[in-house]
Structure formats: C-alpha cells, structure tokens
Amino acid sequence: MNSDIPTTWTIKLLDAGDGSDDAILCLPDELLESLGWSIGDDLMLDFVEDENAVRIVKT
C-alpha cells in the first residue's frame, strides 16, 4: 500500500433525500483504488460503537 494513502478515513454520510432516513456513503476513488475495490463489489459494514466508527470489509 502506498504510504501516502491514509489508513483511516473520515467520510460524511449523505441523506438519500427520499424521506427514508437512509444514507449514502460515497467512498473516494483513491480509497477504492488503494484497496483494490471497484463499483459492484459487495461490502460489509461493521458498526463499532465504542470507537464511533464503521469498518468496511470486502466480502
């Protein structure tokens, strides 16, 4: 992994705007490229309450 790429990221959730209270998580291209992920990959989100964080893993 490139040492210039952060190991943690802060990314804001965007309101889906449809009244559903759903949110959209837009992952930066730089992050996707550094992890070898691409559009269409299946990801699992793990909410870590004590760290106020989300871990994302490719499934």
- Domain edges within the chain: 13-58
Contact 40, 27 (CB under 8 A): no
Q: Which CATH architecture has domain 13-58?
A: Ribbon (2.10)
pTM over cut 0.95:
no
Tell me the per-residue pLDDT of 30-44, one tens digit each, with 9 for 90 and over. 889 999 999 999 999
Give the distance from CA 41 to its chain's centroid. 12
Average pLDDT over residues 14-38: 93
Q: Write the DSSP string, the chain.
A: --TTS-SS----EEE-SSSS--EEE---HHHHHHHT--TT--EEEEEEGGGTEEEEEE-
Count of Cβ atoms closer than 10 Å to residue 50 Cβ: 5
Contact 2, 19 (CB under 8 A): no
